[in-house]
Amino acid sequence: MVNFCMVLGCSSRTRKGQAVSFHRLPIRDLQRCKQWLRAINHPNFGEDTAMEGIKLRKVCSFHFKPEDFELNVLGTKRAALLNTAIPSVFTVPYDDEQPGMSTTSSAKRMCLEVRLTQLYN
């Protein structure tokens, strides 16, 4: 199954070898779900969006700070998103093939990849 990030402008999706995880909106916790939706600020998904419309939507790990994760969950090298985490990083990575990608965009993407590598290693 291919996952896509719902954050506007983010092109993250599941790819082999990419250290990115995808997280469903916390629809069982209405207040926290509203916080996520406010933070994401997507024009099609606001605080009043029906849960049916967002229950399968996901946000990628690029939009969370390293401290939003608990590392080595159950003795594995996997990281789990903390229950208190709210998406707060909105500098998104870009595909290498994206036309017109500036050096600045490339540098931002590389910085995010380094941060994720540190998170997952």
Q: What are 54-100's pLDDT values in tens digits?
A: 989 999 999 999 999 988 767 666 778 999 999 999 874 444 444 44
pLDDT tens digits along 15-54: 776 778 899 999 999 999 999 999 999 999 988 888 888 9
pTM: 0.69
Task: Give the domain extent around 100.
Answer: 22-120
> What's the gap between Cα 21 and its chain centre?
7
Is 10 a member of any domain? no
Is 99 a member of any domain? yes
Is 62 a member of any domain? yes
Q: Which residues of 7-30 are buried (b: 16+ CB within 10 A; e: fewer)?
A: beebebeeeeeeebbbbbbbeeee
Q: How far apart are CA 65 and CA 58, in angstroms?
A: 16
Is 95 a member of any domain? yes
Is 37 a member of any domain? yes
Number of domains in the chain: 1
